[in-house]
Chain A
Amino acid sequence: MSTLILRTASNYLLPVLLVFSIFILLRGHYLPGGGFVGGLIAAIAFVLHAFANGLDDTKNLLRFHPGFLMPVGLALAFFSGLSPIFVDQAFMTGLWFPEPFPVIGNVGSALFFDIGVYLVVIGVTLTIIFTISESA
């Protein structure tokens, strides 16, 4: 599917979709959204890029194997769940910074858990799709 229109559009859509996915990720705490949906949108951005420019281009763009995001995301989620233990709270208790940050809002351990989910979803989805399209 190497049409000029799709290729040009995908170059612009990739950053837009990625920013949108991060917006969805951050929005998820009180409104519909979150790490899972955000991760899927980010994965779609790369899949679209792969459709337009070929798999090898996308892999060059990524520089590392997307599967690597899985342990990174899992580790992030794991340590965000673990962090309350160090201040004598039960596992997975939400810890929050007292003051909200500008733009982002309140930041707590739940956000890092969600970022972990975001990374795992990107990693899993891209690994599956890349593997299938390689063998097809």
Chain B
Amino acid sequence: MTQQLILYPLLLQLLLAILLMFFWKRIGAQRVISILGSIVHLGVSIGVFAYIWNNGTQTVQAGSWEAPFGITFIADTFAITMVLLTSIAGLAVSIFSAGSVISDRLRFGYFPIFHFLLLGLTGAFLTGDIFNLYVWFEIIIISSFVLITIGGEKAQLEGAVKYFTLNFLASMIFLTAIAVLYGLTGSLNMADLANKVAAVENRALVEITAILFLIGFGIKSAVFPLYFWLPASYHTPPSAVSAIFGGLLTKVGVYALIRVFTLIFVEDVFLDQILLVLAIFTLFSGALGALVQNNIRKVFSYLIICHIGYMIIGLGMFTEVAIAGAIFYLVHDILVKTNLFMVSGLIYRIKGSNSLRALGGFYAQYPKLSLLMFIPLFSLVGIPPLSGFWPKISLITASFDTGSYWSLAAIIFASFITLVVIAKLWAEVFWKDAQEIPVKPKFRYYHKIKKIKRIQIIVPIVFLSMVTLYVGFGAEHIQTLAARIASELIDNQLYIDAVLNTQISE
């Protein structure tokens, strides 16, 4: 049974979703199952992570069909790290949802769909088959459509339409790219594709396919110029939903980009140049967008776009140091972005507003909470020794090594603007004198809700802040991890051998 170890996070998530469907009407039971299940899931993920760390890449051939024909599941260090991060963020958001999402929304199957979303994410990280990756993407977007529209407010539906249209377009482009790739090589297994694509003589068509993948994943990960759906939709659903979207949904696009462009389409100078240019524009446009916003969640949405640029720029430079930087940034970003949207949810719960102008006096009224919120906010900026600082060193070193000074300028510019944005946010929300905010009669303010709910809102923020602090202060460990992932990604022969030479379990 240990050969199947890497499937356990996947299967557990599916089991949870099915179990929660049996309790469709009983929200109280759903809360308990979701939280307990997420804790177990975190334990399982840590166990599998430790196993992969000690024993190297593991594969499972689903249905015992041999590698190029059947669907392969593969957990290398990169994939299992992403699974682990998913389950950390999943646990935090599960607890946060139990406390902050109102039961009118929970009644429409919030928790089952939430776990289907996590199932899709886990599957996308673990699969070694490009068509299967498409299927997991579909599970992710279908679940996310439900989560983004649940509650059915007018603004929510408006955001959902934009979100739906663009993501659907991305899926079509992705599917077209798979079809062309299959026509070229006759294979869908990613390791097999890596061998076959290198041997294709029609390089122009390979290049076009690569561009199609870039556009498809680019829309999903909100890269310039395809990002505009993100700030239009992420501020509309409940903040628990925004948290999981902001933390993980764009990152699965980044994961797919990194996977495809380190495994299948490699050593292509033209593509690397495109990635670099896109990343630089993403950094600029995201940072400038964040400067002018007034809604806290819109500020964070633009910062998501901006910081996607850091990961793409690392991929574009394509050196081991740069990719290690991108991976480190990915780890840091998932934790911090998830946390920030929960912070915005907490602010909204306390004050009933998310507008920078209307808020104020937070530090005077809630000094302890303010200090707690200080951690994710300034980790995002990357004040040393907090977590955002370390990956930027790798990225800056790499841009010196490769001599791409535009990237260097963009990285420094975006860091500086992030600092300005967060400093402005800190000044407006925490230091400015308290403003008069009209009291909403029916709104369930923080001081009105039960103590257990308050704990459920605070605990996940504390939990993720602690993990973020660990990433900052234990940067050495994360750097070791990122370096190992980067070396595995650059030397993709390891991945190919792991898939194609495995013995089927008898």
Q: Residues of A at under 8 Å CB distance from B?
A: 67, 70-71, 74-75, 78, 82, 84-86, 88-94
Write out, one digit per residue, whether chain B residues 1-30 have a CB within 8 A of any chain A CB (1) or not (0). Answer: 101100100010011011101101000000
Q: Which of B45-76 contact A (CB under 8 A)?
A: 60-64
- A85 to B64: give the CA distance in the assembly, Å: 11
3 A-B pairs closest in CB distance: A71-B21, A92-B63, A93-B64
Name A92's closest neighbour in chain B (CB-CB). Answer: B63
In the assembled complex, 17 residue pairs joining A and B whose CB atoms fall closer than 8 Å, in A order, are: A70-B21, A71-B22, A74-B18, A75-B18, A75-B22, A78-B14, A78-B18, A86-B1, A89-B505, A90-B3, A90-B60, A91-B4, A91-B7, A91-B11, A91-B63, A93-B64, A94-B63
Across the two chains, which residue of chain A brings its CB closest to B505? A90
- Within 8 Å by CB of A91, from B19, B21, B24, B62, lies B62
Using Cβ atoms and an 8 Å threshold, which residues of chain B touch A70? Answer: 21
CB atoms of A90 and B18 under 8 A apart: no
Bound Cα distance A74, B17 (Å): 10
CA distance A90 to B4 in the complex (A): 7
Asked whether A90 and B504 contact (CB < 8 A) given A67-B24, A70-B21, A71-B18, the answer is: yes
Evaluate whether A74 and B21 lie within 8 angstroms (CB atoms) in the complex, with A85-B4, A91-B11 already known: yes
If A78-B15, A82-B11 touch, whether A93 touches B21 (CB-CB below 8 Å) is: no
* Chain A min CB distance to B11 (Å): 7
Residues in A with CB closer than 8 Å to B22 are: 71, 75
Inter-chain contacts of A93 with B (CB < 8 A) = 63-64
* Residues on the B chain within 8 Å of A86, using CB: 1
Determine the distance from Cα of A87 to Cα of B22 in the docked complex, in whole angstroms: 28
Q: Which of A78, A82, A91 has the most CB of B within 10 A?
A: A91
Chain A nearest CB: distance from B380 CB in Å?
Answer: 39
Compute how far the CA of A37 lies from the CA of B230 in the bound complex, rounded to whole angstroms.
38
Q: Report Cα–Cα, A67/B63, bound state, in Å.
A: 29
**A88 contacts which of B1, B11, B21, B61 (Cβ < 8 Å)?**
B1
* Cα-based distance from A71 to B24 in the complex (angstroms): 10
A78: which B residues are within 8 A, CB to CB? 11, 14-15, 18
* B221-247 near A? 1/0 per residue, CB < 8 Å: 000000000000000000000000000
In the bound complex, residues from chain A placing their C-beta under 8 Å from that of B61 are: 90
From A67, A74, A75, A88, contact of B505 by CB (8 A): A88
Which residues does chain A contribute within 8 Å of B504, judged by CB atoms? 90
**Chain A residues within an 8 Å CB radius of B60:** 90-91
